[in-house]
Amino acid sequence: MSWSRGYIDQYHSPRSLGGKVGGIIALLVIAGGRWLLKAPKQKYQVGWSWPKTGLVIGALSVAAWLASGVTNRDYGFSFTQPTISIVSIIIIGGDSAGINWGTFMVLGVPVGAFLAAKITGELSLRPPATGRLIEQFGGGTLMGLGAALAGGCNIGHGITGVSTLALSSIVATLFTVSGVWGMAYLVFRLTARAAAGGITAVK
């Protein structure tokens, strides 16, 4: 595991913390677990519960570190760099040196999503409405720009980076969550106001 330790020591784990890193992680896990256990149950939830989802994602994250390390790629889940490599090769014929374990992971995600939806009977292929398509394109564009500016996406920062106590990832994740909560609040407020005023929202 020298590859992972070298990566963490060089780029992420604060040296000033010394041997306190394990204790800090344990406190965060305990505090976060306590908060989640006391959180109200979601009656409208569809699919897996959050404990099952969290455990599976955690196990897959560890497996991603191990599998990626075997190929000398010292990182776990990440979408930004692999996606940039794929797009650059398709559009400008970029250097294939950027193709690595992460590239094949990104290519496998839509395949895995399709198979999962097919197996569970939730697969439904349909074209989105015009308004919805514009929203998705705009949202995707903003997410891409944000990931490029932040040096990573919600997966690379929120799952992989935070697990190594990377300060940049912690800051990026906090602002990502804040942005999502703020926009969700705004959308719900606008939707409620539109409903009260008898305005039909664009679907």
What does the DSSP assignment read for 79-91?
A: SHHHHHHHHHHHH
Q: Please name the residues in contact with 73: beta carbons below 8 A apart, sequence gap of 6 or more.
A: 100, 101, 102
- What is the pLDDT, as a whole number, of residue 42? 67
pTM for this prediction: 0.70
- What is the pLDDT, as a whole number, of residue 110? 92
Note down pLDDT in tens along the chain; length 203 residues: 444 455 445 445 555 455 566 677 788 788 877 887 777 776 666 777 777 888 899 899 889 988 888 888 878 888 888 888 888 888 887 667 778 888 899 999 999 999 988 888 888 888 888 888 898 899 889 888 888 888 888 898 988 888 888 888 889 999 999 998 998 899 888 888 888 775 554 44
- What is the pLDDT, as a whole number, of residue 112? 92
- What is the pLDDT, as a whole number, of residue 53? 83
Residues in the chain: 203
In this structure, which amino acid lies at residue 54? G
Contact 194, 42 (CB under 8 A): no
In this structure, which amino acid lies at residue 77? F
